Amino acid sequence: MFVILRDENAPLRNRAPRPAAPPGAPGFGTGSFDAPMANPIPPAPKLESAELSAKDLRDVTRDPAVTAVAREMPTRLIEPQPLDEVRTEDAEPAWGIAAVGADTSAFTGAGVRVAVLDTGIDTNHPAFAGVALNTRDFAGSGIEDANGHGTHCAGTVFGRDVDGSRIGVARGVTDALIGKVLGDDGSGSSDMLFRAIKWASDEQAQVISMSLGFDFPGLVESLVDQGWPTLLAGSAALEAYRQNLRMFDALMDMLRAQAAFSGGTVVCAAAGNESRRNIDPTFEVSASLPAAAFGVVSVGALGQGPGGLNIASFSNTNPTVSGPGVNVISAATGGGLRPLNGTSMACPHVAGIAALWWEAQRASGSPAFAGAVQARLMATCTSAPIDPATDALDRGQGLVQAPAMAIG
Using an 8 Å Cβ cutoff, are 42 and 261 in contact?
Answer: yes
Cα–Cα distance for residue pair 363/361, rounded to 1 Å: 5
Determine which one of 7, 118, 122, 215 is catalytic. Answer: 118
Catalytic residue check, 286: no
353 phi and psi, to 5 degrees? -65, -35
Q: From residue 163, how far is each of 98, 127, 293, 337, 343 by CA, in Å?
A: 18, 10, 39, 9, 26
Residue among 275, 298, 313, 344 flagged as catalytic: 344
CA distance 343 to 71: 27
Q: Which of 7, 122, 125, 149 is catalytic?
A: 149
Integer Cα distance of 118 and 111 in angstroms: 22
Which is it for the CA torsion 373, 375, 380, 381, positive or negative? positive
Residue type, position 260, single letter: A
Q: What angle do CA 329, 285, 385 make, to 5 degrees?
A: 50
Closest alpha carbon to 204 in 252, 266, 153, 137: 266
**Annotated catalytic residue 90:** no
Q: Are 158 and 115 within 8 A, CB to CB?
A: no
Amino acid at 112: V
Classify residue 398 by burial, with Cβ atoms within 10 Å: 0-12, 13-18, 19+. Answer: buried
Of 331, 333, 328, residue with least CA distance to 312: 328
Q: What values do phi and psi take at 193, rounded to 5?
A: -65, -50
Q: Give the C-alpha separation, 292 to 273, whole Å.
A: 14
User: Could you confirm whether 118 is annotated as catalytic?
Assistant: yes
- HSE, CB side, 13 Å, CA atoms: give it for residue 255: 30
Active-site annotation, residues: 118, 149, 344
